[in-house]
A and B are shown apart, each in its own frame.
Chain A
Amino acid sequence: MNQAEALALIAEIFECPNTLAPSTQKHNVRGWDSMGVLSLMAEFDDRFSILLTQPQLEQMKTVDDILQVLRDHGHLAA
């Protein structure tokens, strides 16, 4: 998966316009709320077998923090 595809996926998960950038902050992402976090956890589990933990989620402040999880698990080129 490349970065553009990953950003499109995250936008789809949060049900927001596909205008996200790695630097986009959490509070600027419509849909990055408790329902959005549940969708993120479910999609990462189903699609990538990545189990997001509470400490990980607490640390996520930008879209790039989500992309980094994909990089760490080999699903996104660095």
Chain B
Amino acid sequence: MALTLEKITTIIARSLGISATDLYEAFAPATESELAAIIQFRQVQLGKSIAWQDEAYLRWRYDFSGNLTAPLNRLWRVKLNGAILGLIGLDYVQLNCRGERIDATNPLDLVVLAKLDGLGLGVWMSLVLQQDNSLMFAMGATKSSKTIVQKLFTPMPDLGSWKYLLHSSRYLHKKVHPLLLPIAAKSVDAVLALMRKWLVRGKKKPWHIAPVLNFSLHAQQLDALMDSYKDTLWILRQRSADFLQWRFLTNPRRQYNALGLFQDGLLAGFAVYHIKDQSHLHIDDLFTAANNIKGLQALVVALLEIASVASVDLVCFTAHNELWQTLMIPMGFTFRDDGHLFGVAVKDSELQAHFIDPTRWWVTSCDTHSEGF
């Protein structure tokens, strides 16, 4: 029982009491004059899940100028008789594939009026955007968008997390008698510390690791790092200085920290992380020149040291499993499938075979909108 966009449009329009033409006309990128109404709509529909300054977030992520020709992030809305019925954001993404820059889009921030929930407006908005965009990928999903990601995108393996335990008491208390817990935790933590000491020896040389406060200062080196991937088959987001500065260091939803891997004074790689609830350090991005495993190891070692000083219990790294096994397992990390959905929709037949191959994607939290989860 295949559903066409035409049929779905007819059904949705009829449900709303309008024509298909009117429905298409009601769906457009939001402009500055609509921002106040959008903020109120999101506040009502999302309620307590908005734990940040939503206006600051929306202005950071989306362009509301009404300039529809430039490749910018936009928030699309269905508006009827002055009332907003649904929203869906569309990030403009530049991917790097064999040295070529490929334009793609990434939907997010799907919100539908509660009384219309389950009637397919979110599906319709997603399909209309898919129709006009030749390469689209989706990462993660809320309860309401899960079906859309699962059914409208070619599924890739779920994103999982690599985890490294520093302190065990939080996890042992469910398995060990309370009287024995302090001794057990102390013993396990001592073993973990010894293992860590053995794992990290010599791994930071010959690099110098230091904070990065402004990616713009390293624009040329970042371009050179990206160029190093041109002879590989990886599909990865173009990590330009402008993108990284925007994504991490001016993000209004979370305070991120960036570490640089320097050699002879030049940036040879970087890591981005944040510490959550004083309990775990999350690695949000990890990047060096292609095949520089030792550089990645040096960054991981530096992050483990930061985690140890901060007395967090756990270090975790959300990533696509295929790539990171060779790095993370020898470093003492274990993998857990977190069930974060990842899907790709490719219309261009020339891109199909390459972009629906899950082994080709280089994915980290950089590619998600995890601050909103």
Contact = CB atoms under 8 A, between A and B. Distances in A.
The answer to whether A and B belong to the same complex is yes
Interface of A: 12-13, 33-35, 37-39, 41-43, 45, 51, 53-54, 57-58
A45 B4 CA distance: 14
Contacts of B8: 38, 42
Interface in B119-155: 119-120, 122-123, 144, 147-148, 151
A interface, by DSSP: helix, strand, loop or mixed? helix
Contacts of A45: 11
Interface string B1-37: 1010001100100110000000000000000000000
Interface in B97-120: 115-120
Nearest to A39: B1
6 contacts: A13-B1, A34-B148, A35-B3, A35-B148, A35-B151, A42-B11
Nearest to A38: B120
Given A42-B7, A51-B14, A57-B118, A34 B147 contact: yes
A53 B11 CA distance: 10
A39 B119 contact: no
A13 B120 CA distance: 15
Contacts, number: 49
A45 B10 CA distance: 11
B1 A37 contact: no
A34 B1 contact: no
A19 B8 CA distance: 27
Nearest to B145: A34
B49 to A, nearest CB: 19
A33 B147 contact: yes
Contact of A39 (B3, B14, B118, B144): B3
Contacts of A54: 15, 115-116, 119
A39 B1 CA distance: 7
Given A37-B120, A53-B15, A54-B119, A42 B147 contact: no
A39 B4 CA distance: 10
Contact of B123 (A12, A38, A53, A58): A38
Given A12-B1, A13-B1, A42-B7, A37 B14 contact: no
A12 to B, nearest CB: 7
Contacts of B120: 34-35, 37-38, 41
B1 A43 contact: yes
Contacts of A39: 1, 3
Most chain B CB neighbours (cut-off 10 Å) among A42, A45, A57: A42
A38 B147 contact: no
Nearest to B152: A35
Nearest to B112: A34
A37 B7 contact: no
Given A33-B118, A34-B144, 5 more contacts: A34-B119, A37-B119, A41-B15, A41-B120, A42-B3
Contacts of B115: 54, 58
B6 to A, nearest CB: 11
B85 to A, nearest CB: 12
B123 A41 contact: no
A34 B122 contact: yes
A57 B115 CA distance: 11
A34 B7 contact: no
Contacts of B118: 33-34, 37, 57
B3 A38 contact: yes
Contact of B119 (A13, A43, A57): A57
Nearest to B14: A51
Contacts of B151: 35
Contacts of A43: 1
Nearest to A46: B7
B238 to A, nearest CB: 33
A53 B17 CA distance: 10
A49 to B, nearest CB: 13
A51 B14 CA distance: 9
Contacts of A37: 118-120
B123 A34 contact: yes
